[in-house]
Structure 1
């Protein structure tokens, strides 16, 4: 029997990346086990989420936004599911499953206002950072509140096999829309068409003329465009929008690793001509409605109307490579790193 004390580790930002993130962007440190101070909760990381949007926080900040950037030689943070190991707070007990934005550390002590409890009865606990977390909520609100997808409309989703896109596509399908998903491999197209039940998947890496491919897949034009990618894919879909189209700008992964903002289509004239609306959003715009959204998404999941997929990578030491893999198109579904086991004797 192994009674050795657990070892604690952290991953810090070693340097600001120039362009693409590499392994030497990160550094591992052995650190002491945290002390659980008065009012605090000691947690053990179980599932760590890696997301493309974190890339911007790794850049060097200027005086306007330095406070929102990761700092050199300090731990990177991301959405994490954790288990309470010890608690000096009446609201949380040992064994509880929680989630929040935590440091890339195996163990840490945090204040109660950083934690939300995870209900293991809604869905598997890892979904707190995927289907029932920020990706699922962004998909839900982006499609229904910004996109306002309605039965019979044609919806296009870029990055459709990813953590947000796969949920957004299914929300549109459940609403009774015709749904076309864009992704970058034959395996992903198979997933979109056969697992998620989309009407059509387009492999942009195998398509010479995306604008024509969208037109062929959407002969009645595009009513709702849920964009996770930006760049030239945006231009191709935008060229096919209908009058009164709604465009929800959720992410721009095509541009995250570029130093200079790329020049593309200027959309203003077309937006006027088509009486169309383009709107960016962050999921916290809808935070008052999170609980209702989680209940609806979990109901769809438990009824079998919605599926979700996790690209699960094992091991704390693999967090950096899992993050880098996002930009190489490795993942179908939500990229998550499992870094610990839930301890049943803690309950």
Structure 2
């Protein structure tokens, strides 16, 4: 008879308006799970090791239609990207003991009914938690948004907002490897220091200390900006548009300043898109996962050589996952926010 164990879960209480709170999520401790896949199923039973906290998850906490990803269901576990170990499998490509990353529930154990969405981890000589970040969805986001959409050239001027986060810290380092001049913005002195001293940005500034973002960007980019990696939106985007160079490119990854507003802000200065012949393109990383092997071929050697540096902010224990997720929206995290559920 298969073992039956307790399965702690983080459940969404109800749909959220405004800024999410820890109390919008509940730690449920009473559920149990059988550690076996039903006969004939092609599902996969996994033990979750690390969970990823990502800004896009805020949109899933609201009832929306027509989005690229479904809303969470109140009363059910939150789900997102994670790293897990296979305990039982009905899928031919995955076996017991395999390590995987992909979509899992915010719980100790998950049954994944679409195992083709899981990616088997081949490189285990790097930290497993990296597969929530640099070797997972955020890493691919940085790669696609910078290389595929912005097509950087040596000597170009690159600006990154929310630059110390999971994606921004990588974009800045990719830009330096491409021979670009790179400036990033962040919300604390600690993060600004990290950008300059740890990640090798040419310069960085605290946007909260700037009264006039247009003037600030003019100060850091007197010649203008060739590439803007957009993570913030709102007033930041307005200021960037006035500072872009002719035929500049804007890769629209996210707009975290808008996620908790009931009514999104309008953006001025869009005439610059015409007068400066700008290319501004949004993207969803899941459309580009066919490039994952190509990305891994590039990034694994850079990690092992120490050429690329990566910082994580790890919250220990499933019970601390709600605070970790909510903290993203007030900038509490330094680097990639990860929740360690269990360690391999």
Decide: shared fold, TM above 0.5: yes
TM-score (norm 2): 0.93
Partner of 2:18: 19
Q: Deviations over 1:68-118 (max 9, x none)?
A: 211111111110100112334443232211111111110122243232211
Partner of 1:282: 284
Q: Partners of 1:65 and 1:243 in 2: how far apart?
A: 32
1:154 and 2:157 correspond: yes
Q: Partners of 2:219 and 2:68 in 1: how far apart?
A: 46
Partner of 1:68: 70
Equivalent position to 1:193, from 185, 193, 196: 196
Q: For 1:19-38, what aligned pairs fall within 5 Å after superposition?
A: 19-29=18-28, 30-34=30-34, 35-38=36-39
Is contact 2:101-2:136 (8 Å) kept?
no
1:60 is displaced (CA, Å) by: 1.7
1:123 and 2:126 correspond: yes
Q: For 1:1-347, what aligned pairs fall within 5 Å after superposition?
A: 6-29=5-28, 30-34=30-34, 35-38=36-39, 39-62=42-65, 64=66, 68-111=70-113, 112-121=115-124, 123-267=126-270, 269-342=271-344
1:303 is displaced (CA, Å) by: 2.0
Partner of 1:345: none
1:122 is displaced (CA, Å) by: 5.9
Listed as ranges, the gaps of 5+ residues in structure 2 are none
RMSD (Å) for aligned C-alpha atoms: 1.8
Is contact 1:248-1:280 (8 Å) kept?
yes
Is contact 1:119-1:125 (8 Å) kept?
no
Mean CA deviation greater in 147-156 or 208-217: 208-217
1:266 is displaced (CA, Å) by: 4.3
Relative to structure 1, is the Cα distance of residues 263 and 40 closer, same or farther in structure 2, using a 3 angstrom cutoff?
A: closer
Relative to structure 1, is the Cα distance of residues 122 and 243 closer, same or farther in structure 2, using a 3 angstrom cutoff?
A: farther
Q: Partners of 1:66 and 1:144 in 2: how far apart?
A: 22
4+ residue segments displaced more than 4 Å? 64-67
Q: Deviations over 1:36-88 (max 9, x none)?
A: 223332211100001111111111234x5598211111111110100112334
1:15 is displaced (CA, Å) by: 0.8
Is contact 2:158-2:183 (8 Å) kept?
yes
SS at match of 1:211: helix
Relative to structure 1, is the Cα distance of residues 46 and 67 closer, same or farther in structure 2, using a 3 angstrom cutoff?
A: closer
SS at match of 1:12: strand
Q: Partners of 2:304 and 2:102 in 1: how far apart?
A: 24
